[in-house]
Structure 1
């Protein structure tokens, strides 16, 4: 048996991508899976390039079943020969097709982000689907496979890059590529970010910016009616600042887009500063770039002072200059929207004062800060396979069941509507969940709140807020859990203190011995 592999850049790509089929010099396709797409791709390649197997011209390729271990050993033996070549014209074309196929797979899986992770001896290809990281292709046991993707991406494909691509240097850019989305071909726009890592590794993260073709309504975000009304009341007030906060990818920009869509065409001038522009709002939108040594947001925000703006979205507040710029705009009679990263709405105050060093007299000034919104996204239960409490024992281990039973026994109010994810899932979902919804907490600031901020009494402020009826993100999560919309275990991974457990109980269980 002649197991000498046929090698070309295109075949190498197929070998790496599927790791389930190889072509040998005697015209045999060895595979561990007769259903793998690798077989058809190898046959098509040989048909289009007959000189790959000149001695087999006109002969049919045989497909032979073998063990996966045998294929893996062959690939390992030929590892040196399988190293990708430098990006000449032919190689560049092959990498371009591979990159396009990667993003198409991500689109087909309804991903929001793609991660290409490069390690010393392998490349990992992952995507975020409904907030969950999943592999979209098998791990490639090769370093240069990922490096060639990085080089192509930043050298030939991306626009607005920071600089030429160097493996040891941070880079950012933007990719526009035509892909099939819901059976229609359209231009997809991706924000590309690169950071180097140890052992000549690195990571590229691609965020799909125009994934949603339409801007959702405020009523479509998963907010309660009271949340929507509070946002509309702020947006229609004369001036002030709304801060939206949450983790990366928690939908802050989408909230602003939905709000501004309601405001346009109603007699007020609207401008946005973004990094980069994500939604087409039908107003003047500016993608921010740095201006020499001056921060881009600060420079553009200063420029907008000459443009008669009524409503401005400032993008992310990252430092003292950005924070002071937003506060200054709010004091000049504008409506201001801005985002930042904190883990709660209360956290906005100490982030401004203690981390960004904004004077507390500014943050607590009357009628300046008006609305602080914290948001996180949680996966939604699949309506086709979600479980009742009585069905849990067939799907969960004893520890998880005990935890859920204890939590259930301590709940107050209506419990009949509570449902749980089916970890096996069904054809409609992934592990019992599909899509995401918002969990929100809002602070509509008044002078009592501003006094607590001025005194930096955050614990006292939280008590006072609850006395006024403040609804925390925990409260919103419990509301959606009782409705049967979301799973308690999933929500507990996004929201603190949903399943209360005292530290004493944790310590008591540290030395528990496993049952025989």
Structure 2
């Protein structure tokens, strides 16, 4: 008979219990499980072989019995502990194995980001795969579990960190660890950040910086041929600034790396300032890490490079006025400059630089300074093995989705849409995750001319938007539509990343206010 008092507990066993949440070991030599196929069974057997002292000596053979999942969950819930003040060597080793296990599982599943979230009575471990947040393991019914993970990540593993781990303080650092990846054993580099939260909780986010070992070519990042041609024209010009904008994780750094890889070895000197470098580009790359209160470290490095005869220079994300102004200064001295910015459109770069970074409009609109502004995002691509045709997808779509789809198709009046469009299979297959696998880039570009600069100097952003459309500017929604027509992406997935793709007009929104459900 299983009860909470006769479950064998150790730090190693609890790690297995919490990870799988389907099996526990009783002190009378019985493994109680709700899943005979669970990997936890073999792990517990292996642990008993390694640590026979876990069970009394007279138990020669451990048996396995089936119980209900709810019973297992109830007993695991009862293991939740209060805070520890100190860790002995065995406990510290168990925490280390938990952390390594999380990282190892994440890289084998090709996770780009890991989120460890600590709540009052629970720890959650999630990851981002192809832009989608998924649970990496069931929620762990223990506050202390997550707190120990946080402390180990910062106090034992992280370098270039703000400080040792204190639960009330923001912290940032870097972790380097050798792991088995789908491409073999290699060093992995993670940016790790912590932010505190209510109920003595908090969140640690780990980003796998060198997930992609190889820099893709400019022709293979999802841009159209015209986009690539525009970028190459800019890169071969005498001077000027290119801004790449987008949300976190939208591929901006990868795009810059693709351009710089193509430019190296062509007779021009190239330097980058990064926080920290994500790719090995075979050029001089300076790791610019802002420690403690030294927020203007990028500005200091940029000033130092004035003495190093640079032709092409790339700065990491522009975050403040000094960073923005140093970039503009370099662009005016006759260099090609690249940098990134967080905005939601290419047009938004002007407003962000002026209103948030306090760069004067006269400088933003200076002749031949700002030359190319790009906004991009990443959208999951359809699985070619299980994607659905227009007719096959209909039973899986809600009435609201069907209404939006009908309106979108009517607006485009394109008879080829039904034949070419494809949709994600909600059940997915062995090749994908819920009908999608991998991501592609959607992009919009502004090639700035004097007309654009005049609108910027006047801060007439609505008039500028209309003028851009009149001379052929293609917003990102048009690039999304092109890839939807090709059957590369699902329209509803794209709508989650592209403003206005399926958005209702304000008139439609107001008319729906009093509609009956």
- TM-score range with shorter-chain normalisation? over 0.9
Contact 1:84 1:145 in 2 (8 A): no
- Structure 1: which 5+ runs fail to align? none
Indicate the residue corresponding to 2:203 in structure 1: 203
Q: What is the CA distance between 1:412 and its match in structure 2? A: 2.7
> What is the rounded CA distance, in whole Å, between the counterparts of 2:456 and 2:407 in structure 1?
37
Alignment of 1:50-89 (within 5 A): 50-57=52-59, 59-80=60-81, 86-89=86-89
Indicate the residue corresponding to 1:128 in structure 2: 128
- Structure 2: which 5+ runs fail to align? none
Provide, for residues 437-472 of structure 1, a one-character-per-residue CA deviation record: whole Å limited to 9, x for no partner.
000000111111111111111111111111111111
Aligned with 2:164: secondary structure?
coil
Indicate the residue corresponding to 2:453 in structure 1: 450
> What is the rounded CA distance, in whole Å, between the counterparts of 2:503 and 2:2 in structure 1?
63
Match of 1:494 among 483, 494, 497: 497
Alignment of 1:5-84 (within 5 A): 5-57=7-59, 59-80=60-81
Match of 2:472 among 460, 469, 490: 469
Indicate the residue corresponding to 1:312 in structure 2: 313
Contact 1:85 1:91 in 2 (8 A): no
User: 1:74 and 1:263, CA in 2 relative to 1: closer, same or farther beyond 3 A?
Assistant: same
Indicate the residue corresponding to 1:387 in structure 2: 388
> What is the rounded CA distance, in whole Å, between the counterparts of 1:345 and 1:393 in structure 2?
35
> What is the rounded CA distance, in whole Å, between the counterparts of 2:487 and 2:77 in structure 1?
49
> What is the rounded CA distance, in whole Å, between the counterparts of 2:163 and 2:195 in structure 1?
13
Q: Which range is displaced more, 68-77 or 432-441?
A: 68-77
RMSD: 1.5
Indicate the residue corresponding to 1:264 in structure 2: 264
Provide, for residues 265-286 of structure 1, a one-character-per-residue CA deviation record: whole Å limited to 9, x for no partner.
1111111000111000001101
> What is the rounded CA distance, in whole Å, between the counterparts of 1:379 and 1:494 in structure 2?
10
Indicate the residue corresponding to 1:334 in structure 2: 335
Indicate the residue corresponding to 1:240 in structure 2: 240
User: 1:133 and 1:358, CA in 2 relative to 1: closer, same or farther beyond 3 A?
Assistant: same
> What is the rounded CA distance, in whole Å, between the counterparts of 2:400 and 2:316 in structure 1?
44
TM-score by length of 1: 0.96
> What is the rounded CA distance, in whole Å, between the counterparts of 1:293 and 1:103 in structure 2?
30
Contact 1:417 1:484 in 2 (8 A): yes
> What is the rounded CA distance, in whole Å, between the counterparts of 2:398 and 2:464 in structure 1?
41
Contact 1:2 1:25 in 2 (8 A): no
> What is the rounded CA distance, in whole Å, between the counterparts of 2:9 and 2:133 in structure 1?
33
> What is the rounded CA distance, in whole Å, between the counterparts of 1:2 and 1:344 in structure 2?
59
Contact 1:392 1:401 in 2 (8 A): no
User: 1:110 and 1:25, CA in 2 relative to 1: closer, same or farther beyond 3 A?
Assistant: same
Q: What is the CA distance between 1:428 and its match in structure 2? A: 1.2
Instruction: Indicate yes or no: 2:377 matched with 1:376.
Output: yes
User: 1:36 and 1:84, CA in 2 relative to 1: closer, same or farther beyond 3 A?
Assistant: farther
Aligned with 2:316: secondary structure?
strand
Q: What is the CA distance between 1:293 and its match in structure 2? A: 4.1
> What is the rounded CA distance, in whole Å, between the counterparts of 1:242 and 1:73 in structure 2?
57
Q: What is the CA distance between 1:213 and its match in structure 2? A: 0.9
Number of residue pairs matched? 512
Q: Which range is displaced more, 402-411 or 454-463?
A: 402-411
> What is the rounded CA distance, in whole Å, between the counterparts of 1:29 and 1:20 in structure 2?
10
Q: What is the CA distance between 1:79 and its match in structure 2? A: 3.2
Q: Which range is displaced more, 403-412 or 206-215?
A: 403-412
Instruction: Indicate yes or no: 2:442 matched with 1:439.
Output: yes
Q: What is the CA distance between 1:354 and its match in structure 2? A: 1.4
Contact 2:272 2:315 in 1 (8 A): yes
Instruction: Indicate yes or no: 2:462 matched with 1:459.
Output: yes
